[in-house]
Amino acid sequence: MALNKMLAQAGVRDMLRYVGDDPDREGLQETPARVVAAWSEWFSGYGKDPKDLFKVFEDGAERADEIVLLTNILVHSHCEHHVTPIIGVAHVAYIPNGKIVGISKLARLVDLYARRLQVQERLTNQIADAIEQHLEPQAVGVIITAKHFCMATRGVKMPGVDTTTSAMRGAFRESQAARAELLDLIKLTK
C-alpha cells in the first residue's frame, strides 16, 4: 500500500480513538480503509484540469447568441472549514460568442470544482472563471443554492437555511435586462 494511504488510514484510526471508540473492534476494522476510499472519491477534483473539459465547437455556434442554461446541476461538495457536506444545485448559463461546449461538460465542470475542499463563494467563482477563460462568451452566470451541513448539524444547528451565491460576468453583470432574462429563465424551469 502506498505510504500516503497508510498514513491517512492511521489518521482515521486516531480520530476513531479520539471520539472514544475502539478502532480494533470488528465493526470498525475496515472503516479506515473505507473512509480513505470515500475521501478519494469526494476529493477527486484535485487531480483534474478544467481545460480538459473544454472541447469547443464552432460548428453549430453560428447563430447561437442567446442564453444557454443548465439548471439543477447537483452540487456535492465539502466545506473546507469542517470537511462536512455542502449539498445543493447549480444553475450555469452563458451567451456564446462564436464557440459552444458540450453541455454535459458544464455539469462536469461543476463537479470538478465541487470535489475539492471549498467555500461556496470560491466554488461559484471558479466555475464562472473557467467558462469565461475557455469559451470567451458574451456572458457567464453561475448561481448556487446549497445547504451546509456544518451549519445544519453543529454550531447554530439550523438545517433549514439555504445559502445562495452568484457570479455574473460580461453581459449578465453589465446589463440589467440580460440578467433579468436569465433569472426569469431559471424561474421558468422550477
**Binding interface with Zn ion (CB under 5 A):** 79, 81-82, 150
Alpha-carbon dihedral sign for residues 67, 52, 34, 151:
negative
Closest to Zn ion by CB, 97 or 163? 163
Closest to Zn ion by CB, 67 or 86? 86
Q: Per the residue annotation, which of 78, 91, 134, 148 is the catalytic one?
A: 148
Active site residue 81: yes
Q: Per the residue annotation, which of 120, 134, 138, 181 is the catalytic one?
A: 120
CB of 146 to Zn ion, least distance (A): 12
Active site residue 78: no
Tell me the C-alpha distance between 78 and 117, whole Å: 5
Tell me the C-alpha distance between 190 and 184, whole Å: 10
Closest to Zn ion by CB, 25 or 81? 81
Q: Per the residue annotation, which of 66, 81, 121, 174 is the catalytic one?
A: 81
CB of 153 to Zn ion, least distance (A): 10
Q: Are 79 and 174 in contact (CB under 8 A)?
A: no
* Catalytic residue numbers, as ranges: 79-82, 120, 148, 150
